[in-house]
């Protein structure tokens, strides 16, 4: 669920509430184990540590501690990371809780579907190795056009699948892939190698623009997503195509198509995003 704009929003929300605070207590509040278990004995490693930094890389969220170690979280489809008053009842599927030394708040990790993960890494080298292991590509902002072109020419897949490939560019998920393809007027099923240089460049810029706009609206809430302070996103109100099958295209009025491309539901305008002839305008 959470794609780059959602994770970025969580990071921005959490930062002022976490940086400078110390971890007073670590609680495992759910009996289920996460799909990727916490690596190592987490209790002793965290208690007493202060948070020095909260950041994002692709869809990963990291919390740096004052001994140089990191808590690394991936929110999967339904993961939430929220700082809440300790007095507030915890929701179901809250798996881990870090009590903070202000005595009043706690960081909660909640994840109904449990596709998310939470792990501890000893230092920055281990963090980088973890990103390497997951095949994480560059951040989508300021991608070099030459890199982009080579990445798109280096695979025979549909462009939609290429956008979802985190090793090509980190952070784009199903929503923003569809929205970026719409902005660039490219049909999701077209082979990435079939795009003209102009289209490739339009798409590179569309990805940046869509993600930037979504961040400014605090991401998109379809169902589960909330920011680090519990607020919902607002970008779902600006979707041009995602989840809008059968509704009119905001640009030309044609009915938006909903179809499976590369195993994922995809939404596009059949008029603005033609599958056949490459438009070379």
Partner DNA sequence: ATAGGCGCCTGCTGGC
Partner DNA sequence: TGCCAGCAGGCGCCTA
Active-site residue list:
2-3, 59, 264
* 217 contributes a contact to DNA by CB under 7 A: no
Which range touches DNA (CB under 7 A), out of 140-148, 173-181, 201-209, 246-254? 173-181
* Phi, psi dihedral angles at 105 (to 5 degrees): -125, 165
Q: Please select the residue that binds DNA; options are 20, 32, 104, 197, rule is CB under 7 A.
A: 32
Nearest distance from C-beta of residue 130 to DNA, angstroms: 9
Nearest distance from C-beta of residue 174 to DNA, angstroms: 4
- In the complex with DNA, which residue's Cβ is closer, 3 or 199? 3
DSSP designation for 192: G
Nearest distance from C-beta of residue 35 to DNA, angstroms: 6
Q: How many residues does the chain have?
A: 281
Q: Please select the residue that binds DNA; options are 151, 152, 161, 181, rule is CB under 7 A.
A: 161
Q: Are strands 257-261 and 264-268 parallel, antiparallel or unpaired?
A: antiparallel
CA-atom Rg of the chain in angstroms: 20
Paired tokens of 73: 């979280």
Nearest distance from C-beta of residue 47 to DNA, angstroms: 28
Name which of residues 107 to 136 contact DNA (CB under 7 A). 112-115, 134-135
Paired tokens of 179: 């929205």
Q: Please select the residue that binds DNA; options are 152, 221, 244, 257, rule is CB under 7 A.
A: 221
How far is the CA of 51 from the CAs of 15, 23, 64, 68, 120, in angstroms?
Answer: 9, 8, 6, 10, 13
Sequence-ordered strand ranges (E) for 68-147: 70-74, 80-85, 94-100, 105-110, 117-121
Which range touches DNA (CB under 7 A), out of 20-28, 39-47, 73-81, 269-277? 73-81
CB atoms within 10 A of CB 35: 14
* Phi, psi dihedral angles at 118 (to 5 degrees): -145, 125
Size of the site for DNA (CB under 7 A): 42
* 137 contributes a contact to DNA by CB under 7 A: no
Cα 100 from Cα 172, distance rounded (Å): 32
- In the complex with DNA, which residue's Cβ is closer, 46 or 240? 240
Paired tokens of 240: 């041009």
Which residues sit at the interface with DNA, rule CB under 7 A? 1-3, 6, 32, 35, 58-59, 74, 76-78, 92-93, 112-115, 134-135, 155-158, 161, 164, 166, 173-175, 219-225, 233, 262-265
């Amino acid at each position: 669920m959470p794609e780059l704009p959602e994770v970025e929003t969580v990071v921005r929300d959490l930062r002022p509430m976490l940086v400078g605070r110390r971890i007073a207590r670590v609680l495992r509040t759910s009996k289920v184990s996460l799909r990727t278990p916490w690596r190592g004995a987490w209790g002793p490693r965290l208690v007493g540590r202060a948070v020095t930094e909260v950041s994002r890389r692709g869809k990963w969220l990291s919390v740096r501690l004052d001994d140089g170690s990191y808590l690394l979280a991936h929110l999967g489809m339904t993961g939430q990371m929220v700082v809440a008053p300790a007095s507030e009842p915890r929701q179901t599927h809250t798996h881990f809780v870090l009590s903070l030394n202000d005595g009043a708040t706690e960081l909660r990790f909640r994840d109904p579907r449990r596709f998310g993960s939470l792990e501890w890494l000893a230092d920055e080298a281990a963090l980088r190795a973890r990103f390497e292991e997951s095949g994480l590509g560059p951040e989508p902002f300021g991608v070099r056009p030459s890199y982009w072109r080579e990445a798109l020419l280096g695979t025979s897949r549909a462009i939609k699948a290429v956008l979802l490939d985190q090793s090509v560019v980190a952070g784009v998920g199903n929503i923003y892939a569809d929205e970026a393809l719409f902005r660039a007027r490219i049909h999701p099923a077209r082979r990435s190698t079939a795009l003209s240089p102009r289209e490739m460049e339009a798409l590179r810029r569309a990805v940046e623009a869509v993600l930037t706009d979504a961040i400014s609206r605090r991401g998109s809430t379809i169902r589960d997503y909330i920011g680090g302070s519990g607020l919902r996103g607002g970008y779902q109100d600006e979707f041009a195509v995602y989840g809008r099958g059968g509704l009119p295209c905001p640009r030309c009025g044609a009915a938006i198509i909903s179809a499976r491309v590369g195993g994922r539901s995809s939404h596009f305008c059949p008029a603005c995003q033609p599958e056949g002839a490459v438009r070379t305008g």
